[in-house]
Amino acid sequence: MTEMRVGVLFGGKSGEHEVSLASARTVIAALEEAGYATVPIGISPEGRWLTSDDPMARLTSGEIGGIGGNGNNSGAGYADTGGAATAFMPIEDRLPALDVIFPVLHGPFGEDGTVQGLLEMAGLPYVGDGVLASATGMDKITSKIIFGAAGLPQVAYRALTRREWQIKRAELLDKIEGAFAYPLFVKPANLGSSVGVSKVRDRGQLSAAIDLACTFDRRVLVEAGVEQAREIEVSVLGNDEPQASVPGEIVPGNEFYDYDAKYSDGRSQLLIPAQLTAAQVERVRCLAIRAFQALDCAGLARVDFLLAEDGTLYLNELNTMPGFTRHSMYPKLWEASGMPLPALVRRLVELALERHADRQRNRISRV
């Protein structure tokens, strides 16, 4: 049997570029251990796609520049793609023949439905969630609206736009303080890895946090805090019949599980399995699957919860392409559930091919 070729897509135009590189190294090693031929495909922070030489080394070394200040690369070895807007791939970096793509991309321009839409247009099978689930899963405000419609428990929240904040700052602060008690969390609607997220305890901090969040996105989420909450996470795997892993717990090294706590300081702890009652385990796994299905997810997702001191469980968010290093919660939860990493990536490839085959059954015209 011909060896299956899996293109592993990594890097990208987001603040989680380096996290993506770390995840991709683990995924490539696991795929090769599972018996697949891997084709590394890097995307620079400026959006240039790379397949020649060693894309991982080229991105890590920082030798790769952008695609040009005005995007015009004619005569510079770039493919004629019909205009500056699409001139992102040099001729030597055109994609080879591939059986499936594994997009190990985190954050905007990768986990938000943009790359998924490109792969759909190209007719390529790919691991993970489709355009709809990726876009709604990335957008914290839209996903909360959908989760609310599905009857899933969440903390109280308010959404605002950058334009609203510019023209009625004091009024918004008054309304937020009138509706919520401190502490509060402020988040950009469309970022991951806790980039731009702040925990605030007074009006001054709230104002500064919204200013910060507005530098990352035009839409901002303000959430009620849950004091002394435990952070519980569940990994979900599957298509139409998803399964949930054993739950795990994050004990942050910082006041909350921010970017530094996730990737830099090394003081956070992962407790697997989480110390929960049998009833709590059953409920959190059930809610994780319901959240997965509410967004019409496919392949994989990590679903995060807050467990209050009184036992109340709140759905926090759903991550459609969680971290994939050997220290990341998603693969570690499946390992604790009896599925080691090589078996996990093999199952993800199988699910990608299964979903692609199912999509081919759809009619796209009346004829």
Tokens representing residue 15 in the block:
């603040």
Q: Of 107, 141, 122, 136, nearest to 298 (Cα)?
A: 136
Tokens representing residue 211 in the block:
């200013």
Catalytic annotation, pick one of 36, 78, 126, 263 = 263
Terminal Cα-to-Cα distance of the chain (whole angstroms): 36
Tokens representing residue 339 in the block:
């599925």
- Can you tell me whether residue 139 is helix, strand or coil? coil
Does 63 participate in catalysis according to the annotation? no
Catalytic annotation, pick one of 44, 143, 193, 268 = 193
Catalytic annotation, pick one of 128, 230, 323, 335 = 323
Alpha helices (runs of H) in the chain, residue ranges in sequence order: 17-33, 55-61, 114-122, 131-138, 140-149, 162-167, 169-179, 203-216, 259-263, 278-294, 329-336, 341-359
Catalytic annotation, pick one of 304, 314, 328, 330 = 304
Catalytic annotation, pick one of 14, 198, 245, 319 = 319
Catalytic annotation, pick one of 7, 11, 14, 16 = 16
Catalytic annotation, pick one of 317, 328, 330, 335 = 317
Name, in order, each residue with C-beta under 8 angstroms of 2's C-beta and a sequence gap of 6 or more.
Answer: none
Does 323 participate in catalysis according to the annotation? yes
If you ran DSSP here, which 8-state letter would residue 187 be given? E
- Can you tell me whether residue 284 is helix, strand or coil? helix
Does 304 participate in catalysis according to the annotation? yes
Does 130 participate in catalysis according to the annotation? no
Does 73 participate in catalysis according to the annotation? no
- Dist CA 51 CA 24 (whole Å): 14
Does 16 participate in catalysis according to the annotation? yes
Catalytic annotation, pick one of 48, 58, 285, 302 = 302
Does 296 participate in catalysis according to the annotation? no
The phi-psi region of residue 239 (left if phi > 0; otherwise alpha if psi is between -120 and 50; otherwise beta) is alpha
The Cβ-side half-sphere exposure at 204, using a 13 Å CA radius, reads 0
Does 362 participate in catalysis according to the annotation? no
Active-site positions read 16, 193, 263, 302, 304, 317, 319, 323
